[in-house]
Amino acid sequence: MVETSASGTARTAGTGAGEPFGGSRAGEALRAYRLIAGMWIRSSMTYRTSFVITVLGNLLVTGLDFVAILLMFSQVDSLGGWSLPEVAFLYGLSATAFGLADLTFGSMDVLGGRMRDGSFDILLVRPAPVLAQVAADHFALRRLGRITQGVLVLVWALLTVDVDWTAAKVLLVPMMLVSGGVIFCALFVAGAAFQFLAQDAAEVQNAFTYGGTTLLQYPPTVFGKDFVRGVTFLLPLAFVNWVPAAYVLERPYPLDLPHWAAFLSPLVAAVCCALAGLAWRAGLRSYRSTGS
Amino acid sequence: MADTNTDPSTQAGADTDAFIELDGVEKVFDVRKKTGFLKRERRQVRAVDSISFTVPRGEMVGYIGPNGAGKSTTIKMLTGILTPSGGRLRVAGIDPSRERTRLAHRIGVVFGQRTTLWWDLPLLDSYKLMHRMYRIPDARYRENLDRLVELLDLSALLDVPVRQLSLGQRMRGDIAAALLHDPEVLYLDEPTIGLDVISKARVREFLRELNAERGTTVLLTTHDLQDIEQLCSRVMVIDHGRLMYDGPLAGLHEVGDSERVLVVDLERELPPIEVPPARVVKVEGPRQWLAFPAAESAAVLVARVAAEYPLVDLSVREPDIETVIAKMYAEQAERAIS
């Protein structure tokens, strides 16, 4: 008993004496992220040719996704009742949002490997938030390829799609990109948290993140209803683009959701972040109490 | 320093200069073993079982024991990587697992088999990252870097990508990286593993100087008993999570009830020498091996042998700690059985 109270006092005294290095936690995290991402960029630049080839390769491979859709449309006029520019709109939104998340948090699947080989411990003895260090781990600019490709398709879709643009619809486009990116980031973090429990779970995580983005490149009407329900409520991926895009394109909502659901994406993203944050903390705590 | 003194949790009776304090620290792991397709058996493993010790500022301590004894688990608790299951633990007055990042500024860690250096980048780039990540003031960073580069002989290596360094060079690089922010304590987990003799000597030499000049507290785990012999005034032996010995290196011999060996070369082949309490353990032509208690004087024994036998040459072999420790384990096991 005495011990607990004593250590409590010590702790308050300790924090009172001052975090000698000021700045908020978020600021610290961003700073650590920038420092480590910078090191990885410099590392990848030491192999310049390889870097250029992987950027081009990334652009090409992700571009093939869209080519698959183009091929489909060479045979049919619409997909689940959606025209080519409409599907391109979905595709561009999903690919760009995912690309943003993939660039910033996409390397979190190396966490399992770091835990297995013990190098995760090195991150834990550095004076920086662990999540920021893990997110920046293996930061790769080649992932810009995916974003570039998504943006190109999105721009083409915006130019050709048949929409009566209103202020709300215009506003929804950047909102979808940001919220969508954040939702995917949260999925990456949650997936990483899961790796604390099952250290080879990276593939499970990839099924949800990479699998998710491929899914969202097609209209919801081509999938079974129960499947769409699962995606919407279990993993709130539908809020990345399906629901808000249905508003923009004046299409019936998947699952007959109410009209205002289109504007829920930021809220859904915030909830996802909170849940992912909790999962991460729980995961990290379990690592620090069980070890490897 | 002020931190430790004002810390109200420092016990009145305890050494006020204690820098590292462990009091009944435990670490219990839940191990799940697959016993069937989905069935799993849960078992608790005590990796560290109620360990208590204190290390004053500026001491160099060796922490040894066989694989799986709980050495690394202890180091991981001291650095805040793992949270203890029980007991009380303080480093510089800080509870490591609660204030991991705050502690990180005051400790340096070198894991012998993992590196904190950036594989594809020149060595200097890793140091620049430390400079910024630890927010080391510019002047101090430059001063520390210059000193470490000189002492660890790194000047020719600063522009070399880490992947091109030899194991010994990389280890020196890692040690420098762990010391740029002037840590008060340095933990070394197997710092000489896999190094050649010259690299080992260099690392040891450096650690000695660091301890003498800066008063840095050093805690090192090792398999190499020479590390301990040459560096540490104090040894802790751990096995099965328990502290089996804590004291000066010399005392380990007494505890282990060890023997020294006198090797004598006689002029010709003779029957086994008889000079109690020494006993002959081996005869090979004119050469004989005599074991005698480590506490006995070798000089007396040598004089007696020289007086009674035609002695040509001799040498005395000190017991190696490995044997001593093995003996200690054996005794412990015997006691446990009876």
Judged by average pLDDT, the poorest of A97-106, B62-71, B96-105 is B62-71
Please tell me whether residues B247 and B263 are part of one structural domain: no
The answer to whether position B4 is within a domain reads: no
Q: pLDDT band for position B79 (50/70/90)? A: very high
Q: What is the pLDDT of residues A197-220, one digit of tens each?
A: 775 555 666 666 777 777 777 777
Q: Is residue A236 exposed (0-12), middle (13-18) or buried (19+ Cβ within 10 Å)?
A: buried
Averaged pLDDT, B206-220: 92
Per-residue pLDDT at B6: 41
B200 pLDDT tier (thresholds 50, 70, 90): confident
Span A125-154, pLDDT tens digits? 999 999 999 999 999 888 888 888 889 999
Based on the domain organization, do B138 and B231 belong to the same domain? yes
Q: Are B267 and B310 in contact (CB under 8 A)?
A: yes
Residue of A nearest to B26 (CA): A289
Tell me which of B228, B252, B276 is where a domain ends.
B252
State the pLDDT at residue A142: 84
Supply the pLDDT for residue B10: 40
What percent of chain B is modeled with pLDDT above 70?
Answer: 89
Tell whether B240 and B270 lie within a shared domain: no
Helix (H) or strand (E) holding B170: helix B167-179
Return the higher-pLDDT residue of B104 and B225: B104
Range of the structural domain that residue B231 is part of: 25-252
A177 pLDDT exceeds 90? yes
What pLDDT score does A288 carry? 78
Given pLDDT bands bounded at 50, 70 and 90, which one contains residue A173? Answer: very high
Do B168 and B306 fall into the same domain? no
Nearby residues of A110 by Cβ (< 8 Å), 6 or more positions away: A137, A138, A202
Cα pseudo-dihedral B7, B12, B13, B19, rounded to 10: 10
The answer on pLDDT for B1 being more than 50 is no
Q: Are residues B196 and B309 in the same domain?
A: no
Is residue B20 over pLDDT 90? yes
Q: How open is the CA angle B288-B291-B295, to the nearest 5 degrees?
A: 145
Q: How far is CA B317 from CA A26, B95, B224, B293, in A?
A: 61, 45, 18, 12
Enter the tokens of residue A139.
């930061």
What does each C-alpha distance from B285 to B27, B272, B276, B279, B315 come to in angstroms?
Answer: 54, 11, 21, 17, 16
Where is pLDDT greater, at B133 or B323? B133
Residue A7 pLDDT class (50, 70, 90 cuts): very low
Q: Would you say residue B300 lies in a domain?
A: yes
Verify that B64 and B140 share a domain, yes or no: yes
Most confident of A232-246, B212-226, B284-298: B212-226
* Reported confidence tier of residue A40, pLDDT bands at 50, 70, 90: very high
Give the pLDDT band (50/70/90) at residue B270.
confident
Q: How far is A124 from chain B (nearest CA, A)?
A: 6
Which pLDDT value is given to residue B25? 94
CA B324 to chain centre: 16
Q: How far apart are CA A109 and CA A199, in angstroms?
A: 10
Whether residue B151 is contained in a domain is answered as yes
Contact A32 B133 (CB under 8 A): yes
Q: Contact, A273 vs A26, CB < 8 A? A: no
Chain A partners of B8 at a C-beta cutoff of 8 Å? 6, 9-10, 13
Domain count, chain B: 2
What's this model's pTM, rounded to 2 decimal places?
Answer: 0.78
Instruction: Give which of B8, B27, B10, B28 is closest to B19, Cα–Cα.
Output: B10
Beta bridge partners of A19: none
B280 contacts: CB under 8 Å, gap ≥ 6: B272, B273, B288, B289, B290
The maximal CA–CA distance of chain A, rounded, in angstroms, is 78
How far is B243 from chain A, CA to nearest CA, in Å?
21
User: Do B164 and B288 lie in a common domain?
Assistant: no
Residue B14 to residues A8, B5, B7, B22, B312: CA-CA distances in angstroms?
19, 12, 12, 11, 55
Sheet containing B18-34: order of strands: B40-56, B18-34, B86-91
**Is residue B182 one of the residues assigned to a domain?**
yes
**Across the interface, do A10 and B119 touch by the CB < 8 Å criterion?**
no
Give yes or no: residues B128 and B166 share one domain.
Answer: yes
Which of A8-12, A226-230, B53-57, B167-171 is predicted with the least confidence, judged by mean pLDDT? A8-12
In a domain, B125, yes or no: yes
Same domain, B80 and B228: yes
Residue A292 touches chain B, beta carbons under 8 Å: no
Query: What is the domain-level CATH number for residue B159?
Result: 3.40.50.300
* Residue B336 belongs to a domain: no
Residue B188 lies in a domain: yes
ipTM value: 0.78
pLDDT value, residue A107:
84
A170/B contact by beta carbon, under 8 A: no
Evaluate whether B278 touches B291 at the Cβ level (below 8 Å): yes
Among chain A residues, the shortest Cα distance to B136 is held by A21
d(CA B47, CA B323): 24
pLDDT one-digit tens code per residue, B41-50: 777 888 899 9
Mean pLDDT computed over every residue of chain A: 81
- Say whether B7 and A288 touch across the interface (CB within 8 A): no
Residue that has been written with the tokens 């049919």 in this structure? A76
Cα within 13 Å of Cα(A125), Cβ side: 26
Q: Per the CB < 8 Å rule, is B93 touching A14?
A: yes
| Percentage of chain A exceeding pLDDT 90 | 32
Task: Compute how many other C-beta atoms are within 10 angstroms of the C-beta atom of residue A125.
Answer: 23
Q: Which residues pair with A32 in a beta bridge?
A: none
Reference A196, options A289, A61, A83; nearest CA is A289
Looking at the domain assignment, is residue B12 inside a domain?
Answer: no
Q: What is the pLDDT of residues A91-121, one digit of tens each?
A: 899 989 999 999 999 888 788 888 888 889 9
* Residue that terminates a domain, selected from B252, B286, B309: B252
Give the model's pLDDT for residue A134.
94
Give the confidence band of A32 by pLDDT, cuts at 50, 70, 90.
very high
Residues B196 and B99 in one domain: yes
Q: Is the pLDDT of residue A233 over 90?
A: no
* Distance of alpha carbon A95 from alpha carbon A141, whole angstroms: 16
pLDDT band for B187, please (50, 70, 90 cuts): very high
The partner residue sitting opposite A35, judged by closest CB among B88, B111, B129, is: B129
pLDDT score recorded for residue A60: 83
